[in-house]
Each structure stands twice: as structure tokens, then as C-alpha cells.
Chain A
Amino acid sequence: MRHGKYPFILSFLALPVGLYAWLVILPFAQAFQISLTDWSGSSNQFNYIGLDNYVNLFKDENLVMPAIRHTAIIVVALPVITIALGLFFAFMLNIGGRSRQGRIEGVRGARFHKIVYFFPQVLSVAIVGILWQQVYAPQNFGGLITGTLDLFGLPAPVNGFLADKRFVLVSVIAVLVWSSVGFYLVFFSSAMASIPRDLYEAGIIDGAGRIQTFFKITLPLLWDSVQTAWIYLSIVALDVFVLVYMMTPDRGGPDSASEVVGGVIWKYAFNNGEQAFASALGVVLFFAALTLAVVSLRFGRREQIEY
């Protein structure tokens, strides 16, 4: 058997690797090629025009530059807020409760909370979009937040949150956080469950409070999970498009105030008939994602703790 090992393994790998190469690697490679042309997307004719598309990308103050700025904001804000909230909730639900007779527990009703927080995760993005569109709607059209603010006599944007340049991006980010926090709560909970209880007990005996326990014991031991979450969320942040497409005025408005890179790629590829330009932006996005992943893996590396 040892003798025919490699042909045997290869025969299993050939199909999946082939499919992967054909359906994933090849289109990626093609995007690079297309980005060097002037292809419109609806013809089989094109010319090579060098790096013109890349140069023009950064001159586009109408769509591309706002989109890059907004995406950058989301890439920073989404992981930070989601992970912070996810960790906080997970800690409270697993460890943060009062210790009774030396046992470490979460706050009361932890199981119930876990399920409720997870709800948004099972909704499809389309439903989330429609739901929140109504939540953010103008008061005159049954907006939930605007209506509530008004009830307490507080000022609310008269056209709703999504039609207001100042609030639209924040509103989109809030929905993203809302819909992903539940998953990371469960994710961090399961990671916390694998931390041995005696570490906490030792900490409590030494007189550590909840905050100290969290920063001195939980967080360091969860570092790998946090890192994974960070990379996932960064990729989600770079990709964010569906919510912007569904909720905001003119799919990225008002007046480009919520334009994101994914949306601009779509606009150029399918609305404007500039497939090549869209590909160039796609390539830039690809490298941004790659850099982000590499950087966070490199610099996030810590000493492994065996337990």
C-alpha cells in the first residue's frame, strides 16, 4: 500500500482541487487580466490599456474615494465594536455572575439571553435589511427610533436615519453589529467554556474582581479566538454591500454618504458597463483583504499557553 500512496491520494484530490482552480482561482486570475483592459462586460472585444484603470480609481471622487473611506471606517469599527460587545456579553453570561458557594456562573437567565442574542444570525440579510429599514424610517412613515425619540421630546432626523448624510453610515454599521454580535457571543462562549475553572477560582481567592478576571485571565486565554473573529469580521466589513444596497437611498446614498467598495464594484460592473474598472477595484479590494489577514495574523501572534 505504501508503494501506491501518492497516486491514491492524488486521485482523491484531483477533483476538488480541479474544481477549486477552475471556479475560484481562475476567475481571480481573470479579474487581474480584465483590470488591465477597457472591457465593458457586454462584448467579447477589449483592448489592453495598462494600469489606467488603477490610476483612474483614485481620481474618482464621486464613488470610489468615498467608498474607500467608508469601507475603511467599517473595517475599523465593525470588528472593534462587535468583538468588544461579544466578549462582554459572553463573559457576563458565562463567568460574570456572582459566585455562589465558590461556583463560577453567568448572570441569571444566561441560556435565555444566549438564544435571544443569536436570533439575528438566523435571519437572512434581506430580512434584516427590510426590518431595519422600517426601524430607521421617517417618523411620518412609522419609523421606530424616530417615533420613540419624538415620544421623549428628543430631536430626530425628520427624514429618518437612512436619508440623513450624518447618520446613514453609522446606521448601517449598527445593523451590522446587531446582526453579528450574537454569533460572536456564542463563539466566545464556547471558547470560554474550555478555560479551566480552577484558574478563575485561583484568581478569586487572590481577590480579583470581575474586571481583573476578565483582563488578566479570560482575554489572554481567548486571544486565538479573538484573532479569528477579527479576521472574519474584517472580511465581512470589506464585503459589506447587501445592507447598503437594500436600505440606503439610491444604493449608497444619500449623495454617496454610504457608498462602500463592494457596492461601487457592483455599480460599475452592472450599471455603468465598466467591467474592467470594476475588476481593478476588485483587485485592490483583494489585496486589502489579504494584507489585513496577514497583518493581523503576524502582529497578533502571542505566546501560546498550554492548559
Chain B
Amino acid sequence: MQHQALYNEAFGDAEIEFLATQAISETQQPRFAEGKPADVLDNSGAQQIPLDSLVSDGELVELTPLLDAPSYDDPEVTVRETLRDGVLESGMFNGEFYVLNYVYSAWTIWYNAKLFRDKGWTAPATWDEMLALCEDIKAEGIAPWTYAGKHPVYLYDWFLMLAGRHGGVEVVRAIDHLEPDAWRHDSVRAAAEAMYGLWESGYILEGTPGIDHIQSQTAFNEDRAAFIPCGSWLPNEQSAIAPEDFEYMPIGVPYLEGSVQPGLISAGGEEPFVVPKNATNLAGAAEYLRIMLSAEGSQIFGDTVQATTVVKGVVLDNPAAKATDALVADPENLFQPRFRFWYKTMDDEVRAALGALMSGESTPDELIERMQTVADETAADDNIEKFTHDE
């Protein structure tokens, strides 16, 4: 909202109508259908309008001109050059840039540094170290892992990064590109077996498949479980809830033995801002985004919500944010698996399949065959628009 103040400093007589709502699809979809959408829309949260359908319906403005425009602070530098590496990827649909993901976040595994220090544990780097530590953790009466069982989507990046680290980014890219037998790759199988192994060994907090994200995060805050997979926003979200001395620290997914790309991490933009093609004030919309991407605009955001934006050089002074920054330092290792956002049926399927795998309802082989089937069906369906990562 302070962004609007910045906008008004530049355009004194502009009146901005602002609506904050979670019910985005319910309130905004009819406006698209009517042809009178908002100028700028942060299409985020559980009730977002599916981006793939907005793009394939041609309802959005291609934002490359914004990227090539001079940045707000320095006319010599383009907007594109002020952004972090790898953040545009998630807004790309077949090489065209439609969605500006404003907030920078990474999917990591969290642990309580205070608890680990007190017990003399070291945060594991490899899967085997993690398994060895699980025994110690269990011996202390703490469950090694928990996750939001009711929303198995929290397992998605964990699983794909485990596979990607093992076999290299090509493995997960092949999955996104619906390549034949992509799911049957040995690394995917290894990842599925490793995660299934956690269930088999009883390393998951009992009852986890039946709890939601709030319950699992609360259990984690209470040190009932040692690890939880989540995005980098978690410490800020929990800052008012977690105990005073709780120290959120992130690690990348512990990698399997023989991993060829152990630093691979799923990171990129979140909070998708879009400009509808039928917006009344297209120029104003682009200018608003340009102001958001200015140094001042993104620092305001960072200070308010303690989260980094996609703009380089936002300084945050909390240890968790710094540790996350270190994990995403190497641009070669940044990759966001996208098929979940591109193909809705695969999204439904992968969540159900991962949920079943981690509660012992199905085996790794069943998961792989199930996902391969839906991937093949998606690839064969001419009515579904296909997307690729651009290289």
C-alpha cells in the first residue's frame, strides 16, 4: 500500500482503487469474463485464477516491454538487470513473459537451530546423515519429520529436488516437459523410495497425514518434530506464534548418495502480479509495477514483511533470510519445477500420489506408474496447451 503512495508521488492526481481479498477467483474472474478487469492483479493464494488458462485465453499483457524499460532508479539500467537470477522463469509461458512474481522464495527444509544446539546435533547435508540423525532424534522422543498431510503439495518440491539433486536438473526438467519415461528415471525412483523409506522407518510424526499446515507447523514449533518442509516465508509467518527462543534455520533437501547436483534448489518468484489485456489503464499498470520494482519499493516491502523481493540488493537482517540467501547463491542451481502450475490434472494427481506414498498407502512403483500415466495422457491430449522451460 505504500507502493501506492510512491505511485501517487509520481502521479499526484491518480486515484487508486484497492481491494485486498483472498477470494480472487470469485471476485475477479467475473470481471475478466465481462472484459473489465482490474489494472493490476496480485493473483495469489489458494483461490487464484489459474494462470495457465488466463495465458492461453490471451487475457494477459506480455510484460517484456516492462523488463526492457529503464529502471525507476537508474535510467542507464533496465528493469531486467535489477532482478535476481532465475526469477523471470516462473512468469514465462513459452518464451513470453506474462507474470511478474514479486516475492522471492525458496523451498527448504526447516529445523530449530536452538534445539539442535542443545542436543548437540548437526544439521545434515546428505540423506544418509539425515537418516543417522533420525535415530538420535527418535531416541529423544521427538519425531524426525512432520508435514502438512492434508495438503500434500508441501511434499512436491521436496520430492522433486531430491530427484533433481540426484540425477541433475535435466531429470526434473524432463518431467516438466512431459518426456516419455521421465518419471521412470532412476533418480525419480530413488527419490520416491527414499521418501517412502521415511514412512517405513517410522520417522514421520504419527498422525501427520491427517493434519493441516497449521497443525504441522504448530507441532514443529513445539519441537514435536525436528524437520518440516516449507517455503522460505515460514519464519516470518511463525514469528508471532513460535516460542521466543525458537531459531528457524533452513537447509536444502538432504541429498542422496551419488547426487550429481547436490546444490539444486527450488527457488524463484511467488505472488504473481499480472496486467490484464483489457485493463483500462495499461500504462499506469506497467508504471505501478516499475515502481514496485524500484529499490525503494522493494525495500519497503522487505522491511514490512521480512521477505525478499525479486529485486537484487534488498537487505534483510535476520539469520534465516541470510541462510536462505546463501542456499540460492548459485544461479546454476536454481530451478522451479513447473508442471504443477502448467497442467492442473497433473497437479491433482501428484498431490494425491505423494500423499498416498508418504502415508504408506501406495508404493514408490505405484507412484511412478501413476504419474507416468497422467503425464503421457497430458502429452497426448491436443486440447491442453503445452509449455516448456526456455533454455
Contact = CB atoms under 8 A, between A and B. Distances in A.
Interface of A: 40-45, 62-63, 136-141, 143, 158-165, 248-250, 253-256, 267, 270-274
A163 B53 contact: no
A62 B361 contact: no
B25 A165 contact: no
Name the residue among A165, A248, A253 with the largest chain B CB count within 10 angstroms: A253
Contacts of A159: 149, 207-210, 359
A274 B345 CA distance: 11
12 contacts: A42-B29, A44-B33, A62-B348, A138-B210, A139-B207, A163-B209, A249-B209, A250-B152, A250-B351, A254-B355, A255-B352, A270-B25
A59 B382 CA distance: 16
A271 B50 contact: yes
Contact of A162 (B34, B210, B215): B210
Given A43-B58, A271-B344, A253 B50 contact: no
A62 B349 CA distance: 8
B291 to A, nearest CB: 26
Nearest to A43: B57
A40 to B, nearest CB: 4
Given A41-B29, A249-B150, A160 B49 contact: no
Contact of A255 (B29, B58, B153, B355): B355
A250 B29 contact: no
Nearest to A157: B210
B209 A270 contact: no
A43 B33 contact: yes
A254 B344 contact: no
A256 B57 contact: no
B355 A160 contact: no
A163 B57 contact: no
Given A42-B53, A141-B207, A163-B209, A250 B150 contact: yes
A245 to B, nearest CB: 11
Interface in B348-363: 348-349, 351-353, 355-356, 359, 361
Q: Which 4 A-B pairs have the closest CB atoms?
A: A138-B207, A273-B53, A163-B210, A160-B210
A165 B52 CA distance: 31
Given A139-B206, A164-B210, A249-B209, 9 more contacts: A42-B53, A43-B53, A136-B210, A141-B219, A143-B210, A159-B207, A160-B207, A270-B49, A273-B54
Contacts of A41: 29, 33, 53
Contact of A63 (B47, B52, B207, B348): B348
Given A159-B209, A163-B359, A272 B151 contact: no
Interface residues of B, number: 43
B385 to A, nearest CB: 11
B68 interface: no
Contacts of A62: 345, 348-349, 374
Contacts of A254: 209, 352, 355-356, 359, 361
Nearest to B34: A44
A77 to B, nearest CB: 23
Nearest to A137: B210
B211 A253 contact: no
Contacts of A271: 25, 50, 344
Contact of B149 (A139, A143, A165, A249): A249
Nearest to B383: A38
A254 to B, nearest CB: 6
A270 B50 CA distance: 8
B180 interface: no
Interface of A is mostly: loop
A111 to B, nearest CB: 39
Interface string B12-25: 00000000000001
B96 interface: no
A137 B219 CA distance: 14
Nearest to B352: A255
Nearest to B355: A254
B215 A141 contact: yes
A136 B381 CA distance: 40
A250 B355 contact: yes
A158 B206 contact: yes
Contacts of A136: 210
Contacts of A63: 348
A136 B361 CA distance: 19
A258 to B, nearest CB: 12
A163 B359 CA distance: 9
Contacts of A255: 352-353, 355-356, 361
Contacts of A163: 149-150, 209-210, 359
Contacts of A272: 50, 53, 344-345
Contact of B355 (A40, A162, A253, A270): A253
A270 B26 contact: yes
Given A62-B348, A159-B359, A250-B152, A42 B59 contact: yes
A253 B352 CA distance: 7
B238 to A, nearest CB: 18
Interface string B173-208: 000000000000000000000000000000001111
Given A137-B211, A141-B211, A249 B53 contact: no
Contacts of B58: 43, 45
A160 B209 CA distance: 8
Contact of A40 (B53, B149, B215, B219): B53
B341 to A, nearest CB: 12
B35 interface: yes
Name the residue among A62, A161, A162, A273 with the largest chain B CB count within 10 angstroms: A273
B352 A273 contact: no
B207 A40 contact: no
Contact of A140 (B207, B344, B359): B207
A62 B345 CA distance: 9
A249 B355 contact: yes
Contacts of A273: 49-50, 52-54, 344
B149 A140 contact: no
A63 B153 CA distance: 18
B156 interface: no
B127 interface: no
